[in-house]
Amino acid sequence: MLNNWLKTTLLMAAIVALFGAVGMAIGGAQGMLIALAVGGAMNLFAYWNSDKMVLRMYNAREVDAASGGAFYALVADLARRARLPMPRVYIIDEDQPNAFATGRNPEHAAVAATTGILGLLNEREIRGVMAHELAHVKNRDILTSTLAATVAGAISTLAQFGMFFGGGRDGERPNPVAQIAIMILAPLAAMLIQMAISRAREYGADRGGAEISGDPEALASALKKIEAYARGTPMNAAEMHPETAQMMIVNPLSGGDLQGLFRTHPATEERVRRLLELARRGV
């Protein structure tokens, strides 16, 4: 767990350093502050309202102890084990097996699962999946991803600022070749770092979920099943809103991720390997 947090911290430091370098190169100190303000305002709004927005995108329906039955009771038990406030619980009428957590903090959290995942997995595997989602809540990963998105968005804003207004540091005439390179490469680099942060947080949630449920093998089994079925079962809401893909426990997009750097999720095979290693060590 410490290794994942250290990796996330270093990646966050890298994206902030990239923002500073790009800001000074394209817009100077003033341009850098404007871009950060714009990006921060947009993502602050998203931070406070993202749960409502995402749940609405997926037509999620909230359930309670009466309507949610065994699934609601399972989430309630895991929340107690994790020492978390009871999150709101939602079900999404989609055939693709998947799940996600949202909310700005543990006191305003929500977890959602598709009808596909509830029909595919057994109770033990569902516990593993929902423990993973509650680990995201406990680790405040929504905050981490929002901060990363703020800086990445600010870098893209700076690149656009330089493209349309010429940029230049403190009135100096910029090198046009260097300027074009920055405009193209800086947003790409920011996106790659943001994706790396997302992958690191997935590993952290896998481990945290294994600790909450006490059953790493159940989550490993669930991930293998979800990966196999999700590939052949499109999720229309995710295809319409691909920016939400990183929230899911497994990539929901039919096109899949590009290999390596462009993955929004770690390779499922590696996640399973790490979980089985935790099981062997009795975690």
Q: How far is C-alpha 176 from the geometric centre of its chain's CA atoms?
A: 36
Task: Provide long-range contacts, Cβ within 8 A and 24+ apart, for 5-12.
Answer: 5/204, 7/200, 8/144, 8/197, 8/200, 8/201, 8/204, 11/148, 11/193, 11/196, 11/197, 11/200, 12/144, 12/147, 12/148, 12/197
Q: What tokens appear for 199 in the block?
A: 């992958």
Residue 202: CA count within 13 A, CB half-sphere:
27
Burial class (CB in 10 A: 0-12, 13-18, 19+), 83: exposed
**Alpha-carbon gap, residue 123 to 74, rounded angstroms:** 9
Q: How far is C-alpha 186 from the geometric centre of its chain's CA atoms?
A: 21
| Residue 28 vs residues 50, 162, 175, 264: alpha-carbon distances, Å | 32, 10, 14, 32
**Alpha-carbon gap, residue 76 to 89, rounded angstroms:** 9
* Residues that are catalytic: 133
**Alpha-carbon gap, residue 177 to 107, rounded angstroms:** 49
**Alpha-carbon gap, residue 263 to 9, rounded angstroms:** 19
